[in-house]
Structure 1
């Protein structure tokens, strides 16, 4: 299915931020720019879906877009140019949710998440090698009583082969996203500003070339290896230790603005400042998560908007928690219940 055309004959933008899954075949992405074409092989099967994770993040799709038009334009530009999105903004305002919006709306399957901490290095996102597990498996194989005690061809044929190196290699979220899929995977690199100062620079080569090597497999005598991936029970065939994408993944990088990134890194990304949701969007989010719009939801949204406008740090989770409690019939937004609501909607920047 191709993108529909607007009245002036141009293709309508693919991404509209409604979170509505495609009806029928997923839409085709715009043509790849010549400088972003990759030729990875062998082709990978379609990725699995994770409807439960998308439902937790997005709820049920609503007709009200969750982003303004300018933000949608930036996302569509990143899709066209096959460039990562660098999403900044206040904590808890839906930066990481953007990856799930894109994945569901374009039918791109399960979102791959790489959560960054201060100790994270590039290899964590690409792959891990269980060297100790492999050493133990080889030792057990050598100690097998059925092993031949001499190099006899007939006995050797009956013996199980040694443990394969690929059995002890698991691709990380970034490494899995760069496999040669027919359609791009969605990769969420969450809170990159928490990383060591070197990680953004280390990412430059991978983001530019859409490929990486696994040195352990490069040195191995076998031309190909079957490795594990970040998808549940997923596996992939790697040729000569090198992975190259076929379609560059949709990369959503989030940052809470705790530090600046190098210019060379920012040059490879499209910046998106996540706007604070409007009152209409907040009401739509509440309805999408709860299924219905409770009677007092508007009051809770107004209370939340007032606190956001007053400054400080607030999260959309706080609003959903407040509406859930008051709509359950157990707590009321007065007397003792009002004190509890004040606790739920507190300024998170104050530490308690």
Structure 2
């Protein structure tokens, strides 16, 4: 691997083989990913230039799964049991520093007080006392590493970092990461040490465009907009997740109804459109039935409220779709 430059191919031979009947969500996250040539080129551009790849697109178009797919391919190609992959799922309360490390100052103060007051002699066993003094002598004992902190410390390979839904965070959050992402280092202010990336990380950042990202941040990224799959791509995605499980007629009918739902199931400007993951959940349910019965369920979807609820997550949208199907 050292003699070969990292390159993502997206080839099917490096893809995981799904269990189409599995209902275990974690296992379903390891699934075939079918990138187009432009996306593959964007990934390799980001790898070569050592720039973050910023992926935008509507929810459910496959942004989040790409980083895991790259890690899986690299693991297969170079026979690495677990290629270093560090996801960081952003929330509205997330701070930039959380992705680097969190220092347990309260724990450090507690331990120091136990020693300073000799309270450990009363409350701790000999084994606990030994661990207490070991912690106090280790400047890193009170540090909990975040996704970036762990990635920068990866000793063997270029780690893959996913910063998912960056637009959920505070508006200053992206700019707070500029130094760390560009210079690939950060300082632990509590102990005065600097952590430098041992290998340049491969960083993928996703955004649902809920907020505008700062220009200074965008200048440092490779940008790619992930278009929602068309009918042909959707059929290929379904067949990849359910290999040799479904008839051509059933897949075509399900995709046709799915596209109809996306185009006609809401009249609200901000209405949620059904996503690829919801299509796959629907297919997973339909495969429980004989093909003729599954086709009938597709035709009568508007009358099947529980199954319609797997696709349309708003009562107003369900009513709107039912009225326009009558």
TM-score computed with the length of structure 2 as normaliser: 0.74
Partner deviation per Cα, 1:217-241 (whole Å, 9 max, x = no partner): 21xxxxxxxxxxxxxxxxxxxxxx1
1:323 maps onto 2:301 in alignment:
no
Change in 2 beyond 3 A, CA 1:248/1:54:
farther
1:21 aligns with 2:21: no
Structure 1 residues 113 and 180: CA distance shift in structure 2, 3 A: closer
Partner of 1:200: 174
- Pair 1:56 & 2:28 matched: yes
User: Which range moves more in the overlay, 342-351 or 281-290?
Assistant: 342-351
What displacement does 1:66 show?
1.4
* 3-state SS of 1:216 partner: coil
- Change over 3 Å in CA distance of 1:288–1:133 after alignment to 2: farther
Q: Distance in 2 between matches of 1:315 and 1:172?
A: 30
Q: Which position in structure 2 is the counterpart of 1:73?
A: 41
- CA drift of 1:119 comes to 1.9
Distance in 2 separating the partners of 1:111 and 1:349: 39
Identify which of 242, 259, 271 aligns with 1:305. 259
Determine which of 41, 50, 53 is the counterpart of 1:85: 53
Residue aligning to 2:78: none
Superposed CA offset, 1:176-214 (max 9, x none): 112253321111111111111111111111111000010
Contact 2:154 2:199 survives alignment (8 Å) = yes
1:144 aligns with one of 103, 120, 135: 120
User: Which one is further off, 337-346 or 68-77?
Assistant: 337-346
Aligned: 1:255 with 2:207: yes
Q: Deviations over 1:142-177 (max 9, x none)?
A: 323289xxxxxxxxx9x9556334222111011111
3-state SS of the aligned residue for 1:275? coil
Worse overlay, 315-324 or 284-293: 284-293
Q: Do 1:84 and 1:250's aligned partners in 2 also have CA atoms closer than 8 Å?
A: yes
- Among candidates 162, 169, 174, match of residue 188 of structure 1: 162
**Structure 1 segment 1-352 matched on structure 2, within 5 A:** 1=1, 14-18=7-11, 20-21=13-14, 55-59=27-31, 61=32, 66-107=34-75, 109-141=83-115, 142-145=118-121, 160-161=133-134, 163=136, 164-218=138-192, 241-290=193-242, 292-295=244-247, 296-310=250-264, 312-329=272-289, 332=294, 333=297, 335=300, 338-346=304-312
Q: 1 CA distance for matches of 2:315 and 2:146?
A: 33
Aligned length: 281
Q: Which digits, 9 at most, give the CA deviation of each residue in 1:24-77, with x for residues without a partner? A: xxxxxxxxxxxxxxxxxxxxxxxxxxxx99843232x4xxx6122112111111
Unaligned runs of 5+ in 2: 16-23, 76-81, 124-129, 267-271, 319-326
Give the root-mean-square deviation of aligned CA atoms: 3.4
* Contact residue 126 and residue 171 of structure 1 kept, 8 A: yes
Distance in 1 between residues matched to 2:58 and 2:167, nearest whole Å: 13
1:19–1:101: 8 Å Cα contact kept in structure 2?
A: no
The offset of 1:303, in angstroms, is 1.6
Cα 1:351–1:16 shift into 2, 3 Å: farther
Give 1:86 shift. 0.5
